[in-house]
Structure formats: structure tokens, C-alpha cells
Amino acid sequence: MVKIVGIAGSLRPDSYSYQALMQAVQRVQALGAEVEILDLRKMNLPFCDGGEEYPDYPDVEKLRAAVKQADGIILATPEYHGSVSGVLKNALDLMSFEQLSGKVAGLISVLGGQSNSNALNDLRIIMRWVHGWVIPEQIAVGQAWKAFGQEGKLLDEKLAQRFDQFAQSLVENTIKLRG
């Protein structure tokens, strides 16, 4: 089966991005994929300075190794000022073609206001630039404060169905491209 790495680009303790990531992860696991979550809230990553070596930051190597060994990746980001969060962009900048090229990516954005595709479009550009393959299904969770209930459960059945389709597409396309 396939191995997927999940990364949420928020540092907030009760992050809606992390809750959305977990919704996707549960569904991908139910389809038989192995999943590793890299929790940026618990990792010590420096600001990317364009260098290749970060000897004082072992979590950089942990990030790079996990993504390099994975077949696919789920990226979940809050939308800040109309784009990807700085923490997720920094994590992606700490990697290169060696880790990201050929990876199948599923993209999720979480917004406080109305749903849109700004952060998702920016993530598509980033992943295309490093030769990743982004699945057509993407999820933008608008008004996130109303989307999740107790323990991160989705309250909207249509949104839950979109997460199902997202997971199915990610696993199927990862198998196709890996094969």
C-alpha cells in the first residue's frame, strides 16, 4: 500500500487546519494507506535561508526524510492574508526536488470567512514548481469555526463526502503514479 505524510501549516493549539488534516488522514487510513503526521507545532524548524544544511536543527532532516520516503502528501493550511501560512511555506522551502518531486499531493485550506481557492492555488503552484502531482480534488473549509464539532467531527454531510472523495482520489492516484 501507499505511504502518505500529512502536514498542517498552523501552530495554533486548537488548529482547524489540523482538524481538517485529521479528517483526511482518517479516511486515507481507512482505505489502507499508511500515514505519518508531521506536526509542525512540535518541530523545531529554522527559517529557510536557502541553504542545504541545517546541522543545529535535526527536525529539518526528519521532515526531509519523512517526505522523501512517502509516496504522497496531504498539505492543510489556514489561509492568512489570502495565501498559504508562513509556517507551511517555510517547511516546504526547507525541502527541494529531492523530497517533493513526483509526490502526489492533496491540498486543504481552512478559512475563517467564506471559502475560496487562494491558498489552494498557491499550493498548486508551489507543488508544480517542485514537480509534484496535485490531485484535482481539493477542499476549502470556509467558516471553519462552524465546520467542526466535538473532537473535530465534521458537522456538514456534504463536506464529509468531499473529504471521502478527496481521500479516494489521493490513494487511487498515488497508486497509479507509484506503479
pLDDT in tens, 74-124: 999 999 999 999 999 999 999 999 999 999 999 999 998 888 899 999 999
- pLDDT for 115 equals 84
User: Considering the chain, what is the average pLDDT of its residues?
Assistant: 96
**Quick check: 45 and 90 in contact, CB under 8 A?**
yes
Instruction: Specify the long-range contacts of residues 58-64, CB closer than 8 Å, at least 24 apart.
Output: 60/94, 62/38, 63/38, 63/91, 63/94, 63/95, 64/94, 64/95, 64/98, 64/99
Contacts of 37 (CB under 8 A, 6+ apart): 5, 6, 7, 8, 21, 25
pLDDT over threshold 80, residue 179: no
Counting residues of the chain whose pLDDT is more than 70, the rounded percentage is 100
**Quick check: 139 and 20 in contact, CB under 8 A?**
yes
- pLDDT for 54 equals 96
- pLDDT for 25 equals 98
Using DSSP's 3-state secondary structure scheme, residue 13 falls into coil
Measured at the alpha carbon of residue 135, what is the angle toward residues 80 and 104, in degrees to the nearest 5? 95
Contacts of 11 (CB under 8 A, 6+ apart): 40, 41, 87
> In the predicted model, what is the mean pLDDT of residues 52-58?
95
Cα distance between residue 112 and residue 78, in whole Å: 9
What cell does 20 get? 481538517
Q: Whole-model pTM? A: 0.96
How many residues would you count in the chain?
179
**Quick check: 38 and 66 in contact, CB under 8 A?**
yes
